[in-house]
Structure 1
Amino acid sequence: MINIIQEHNLEPAAARAAAEQVAEKLAREFDLTCNWQGDVLRFERSGVEGELTLAPRQAQMQIKLGFLYGAFAPAIQSKVEEKMRKVFGAA
Structure 2
Amino acid sequence: MPDIDIHHAHTLPDDDARRAVQEVADKLSERFGVACEWSGDDLNFHTSGVDGRIAVAPGELHVTAQLGFLMSAFKGPIESEIRRVLSERFA
TM-score with structure 2 length normalisation?
Answer: 0.91
Q: CA deviation at 1:21?
A: 2.3
Is 1:80 paired with 2:86?
no
Runs of 4+ in 1 over 3 A off after TM superposition: none
Aligned residue for 2:20?
Answer: 18
User: Which blocks of at least 5 consecutive residues in structure 2 are unaligned?
Assistant: none
Amino acid at match of 2:64: Q
Structure 1 unaligned blocks of 5 or more: none
Matches within 5 A, 1:26-65: 26-65=28-67
Alignment: residue pair count: 89
**CA drift at 1:18:** 1.3
**Alignment root-mean-square deviation, CA:** 1.1
2:66, 2:17 → 1: CA distance? 23
2 CA distance for matches of 1:24 and 1:31? 10
